[in-house]
């Protein structure tokens, strides 16, 4: 399997926030409805964890979650949700170093 240009699995392996986000993600299997709509069903035995699955549960795009990982920061408003979704696999203390708060007048986010 050839890697996409500019994409490196090694980069993600060394990114501590990426690893935490994967750990937060519930293990799921991909299912498809008759209408063609895709959804994910929790399955700890046969499921897998990915940024796409995590984005599905957070009701965001995978691009948004990848942006958090690449910038190594997550919004403070999402920390509690991530801890709950992780069901004890990741603690608040583990996510705290990556939390940022939007400052008034900050045009970045």
- Average pLDDT of the residues in 31-43: 89
Q: In residues, how long is the chain?
A: 109
**Given CA atoms 16, 83, 27, 66 in this order, what sign does their dihedral have?**
negative
pLDDT band at 104 (very low <50, low <70, confident <90, very high): very low
Q: pLDDT for 46-90, tens place per residue?
A: 899 999 999 999 999 999 999 999 999 999 999 999 999 999 999
Mean pLDDT computed over 16-28: 93
pTM for this model (two decimals): 0.77
Cα–Cα separations (whole angstroms), residue 90 to 22, 81, 83: 10, 11, 6
Judge contact between 93 and 83, C-beta under 8 A. Answer: no
């Amino acid at each position: 399997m050839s890697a996409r240009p500019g994409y490196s699995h090694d980069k993600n392996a060394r990114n501590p926030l990426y690893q935490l986000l994967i750990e937060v993600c519930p293990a799921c299997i991909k299912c498809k409805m008759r209408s063609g709509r895709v959804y994910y069903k929790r399955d700890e035995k046969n499921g897998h964890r990915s940024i796409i699955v995590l984005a599905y549960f957070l009701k965001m795009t995978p691009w948004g979650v990848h942006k958090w990982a690449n910038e190594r920061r997550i919004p403070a408003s999402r920390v509690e949700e991530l801890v709950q979704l992780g069901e004890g696999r990741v603690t608040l203390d583990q996510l705290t170093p990556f939390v940022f708060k939007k400052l008034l007048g900050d045009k970045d986010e």
